[in-house]
Structure 1
Amino acid sequence: MIRKRLLMLLTVLCSSYAAFAQDPSVGGIVISPNPIQVGQAASLTASFGNGSSTDIPQSATATYTVNLPPNIGVTGSSVVVISPVAGTTANLSVTVGAYDGTNGTIVTVRSNNGPVPGNAIYDLRLAIVGVRVTGGLPPNVLSNALSSGIGTNNPNNDNASTPVAVTAGALPVALVSFTAKAQEDRTVALAWTTSLETNNKGFLIERSKDLKGFEKVGEVTELGANSNSLKNYHLIDQTPYAGTSYYRLTQMDLDGKSTVFPVVSVVLREGAYGVFPNPVLNDQQFRLSLDEPETAQINFYGADGRLMPVQKMGVESGNLLLKVTGKLSTGVYILTVDERGQTRKHRLIVE
């Protein structure tokens, strides 16, 4: 009888452990193409998330890192939600560290505000470029998951790696990195680094709101045409667009040819994008914070994916005032915003 009670107690404890297990984890790393030529643009996708059905709380400081070897550089980054709700906004921040000629680049992903949901799967997508050829075996891209205070973490899925090879290329300039960062004085600091330059005339920086029309920000010219060492460049956009915008770097040859590198995005605004208040009461008017309240395309969907009517009530302090026509059932709805070359999705809870 005692043995039977002990067995029942162990069963309950094991069930409780499984129900509250939390497991920050990483998945596979995919690089395309691989090998990469020096100066050639490529893509890297590293999967990560929560390997259990229980949320990882904000207090656990779940952190995911990807360490890129010095033969490649990062020119852009984003995080995409794969599960549990594909296409929703990831509540995560991405920090791309400075390129180091010995140690490469460290990219860090952390939760901004809130837990990492149970069974969450994210893709960290990096725009990369071949920087230099390394002898011997190709070095590895390494990914890692870290957290504090989680006794249930499974260490077997905390690390992943894959080799990346770089071969001699034909492009005149090998771009290591290109970044655009918003400054406290409401300017945008643009910086880029090259590791190889051949017959280089200079660089052109342009900006855009929608990835369709670009306007000139500035040029960097009168350079030494050739270089085989790291060179750093800087430019300040004194009159950037408010909200989300994009910057494009173009390299110009002495013979008139040019190479356009992948764009990078930057956000220059005081408040966050989103819906306020949230939750919202039935028949209550709510505000949507966005960049283009007059022209943005808004769609409202039920939990079953059915498109539902929504009425624009006006614009107030840059926010779009909205009201759903008709009585709604209590639950979660999805509001999509199409503007400035991208789609954002927001969850709206109706009570």
Structure 2
Amino acid sequence: MIRNFYAKQLLLLIFIFCAPSLTFGQIYLNTFTGASACPTPGNVATAIPGVTGTELTRNTITCTAFSNAFNSTTLNNTATINNNSYIEFSVTADAGFQLNVTSLTFFRQGSASAPNQLEIRYSTDGFATSTAWGAAPLTVTSPGATTNWDFDDFTVASGVKLTFRIYPYGPQRADLSANTASTGASFRMDNVTLNGTVISPMPVKLSSFKGSCENNSVLLKWETTWEDQNEGFEVQKSVDAINFHKVGYVAGNSTTLLKSSYEFSDTGIKSEQTFYYRLKQIDLDGSYEYSRIIAVKSDSGDEKLFVYPNPTTGTFEIKSLELKNPEIRLYNHLGKEVPIKISKSENMDSYQIIIKGNPTPGIFELKINDTNGDSKPRSVKVSVIE
């Protein structure tokens, strides 16, 4: 048995006072205090508002009595990670919140004959898939050490359970002696801390929004990754990407963690005209958010000309299978020509347009004239946004 476990207190003080200022906060904390007993005393998760956390649990690993630590035995002393031999805890963002997770920190210590290898993984789908550290430091004996897994930041949606598993394993002993590690040795944890922030997200995660012209109508389609208290979507339309009016409404799915698909058809569309659409997503409490704006050009009945993206921040492409040698010019709302850079694609059927300088947001007119005379002059409205 290790006799210097309490030296970790000094170690942690050194870590706190000598470390640089941290920019993240604690989402979850579990610090163990109490007498030597099983089940482990003080196994109480402390989570910040907006988060629900679980206590530490063991799978095939068992409790062994020790004071002021989460002490475990029946360890895996083989060279291969046993997917059923782990310590686990979870956090879940409450309704109306989501997690931005940045790192995991905890104190670790093994008895002399404990396996000294360690793996840590996290999952948001019950470990159907998971992310593994793969480079966790070795477990040491007295006085122990603090482990910090600074993984790539990621976001977890409301209601999704994020679970961490810690896998002690390996034939090498923590004291590095020549003997094989013992399954009856012990592995201890304390000050388990999950760092990051809790944010109140948009009530709906809109993953796609697009439109197409079909038989004198515009078909709008959109998908959500998840929804929280979503009453529905007001479909709004404009001819100048500035002044919008309501053309329809589609009911939402209230609260769901599943992907949802929606569509709306705007009928009676005039040909050869560009229309702009956006979604006004409305919560059950009446609050709302707007989606990005998309543009759909109705069919002309002959040549197809595509401008993408539109609206644009200043760089876009035009594509037509019939343009041979186009002369392309751009004009602002005053009719003044705006300087642009034109680059032709390798397959010769599309052109990248870059507006030079810092264009003022608004509606521009793109005029295209095929100098070979094979296609009539075309004019397309382009919306420039910040």
TM-score by length of 2: 0.32
Q: Which has the larger radius of gyration?
A: 2
> Larger relative CO (CA 8 A, sep 6+): 1 or 2?
1
